[in-house]
Amino acid sequence: MYICICKAVTDSAIRAAVCEGACRMRDLKACLGVSAQCGKCACDAKAVLEEALQQQANERVISIQPMYQQAA
């Protein structure tokens, strides 16, 4: 879905930027141009950014949980 019409930025592009290290709106503005023109996309872009960061954090927690074997 398009988040920023001015720069043709999609939610997928924002998620990809998060995977590459973007963690703030200023990072999205620098790498994708989000909210650099009219600014109407800022709220939606921030929501996608926060969702992607939360998902990334959840994936990290899942991947580092120890696996315990039950005694037979």
SS3 string, 2-67, reads EEECCCCEEHHHHHHHHHCCCCCHHHHHHHHCCCCCCCCCHHHHHHHHHHHHHHHHHHHHHHHCCC
AA identity, residue 14: I
State pLDDT tens for residues 16-69: 999 999 999 999 999 999 999 999 999 999 999 999 999 999 887 666 656 666
Close Cβ partners of 1 (under 8 Å, ≥ 6 residues apart): 10, 11
Q: pTM for the full model?
A: 0.82
Domain that holds residue 36: 2-55
The CATH number of the domain holding residue 49 is: 1.10.10.1100
Q: Structural domain tally of the chain? A: 1
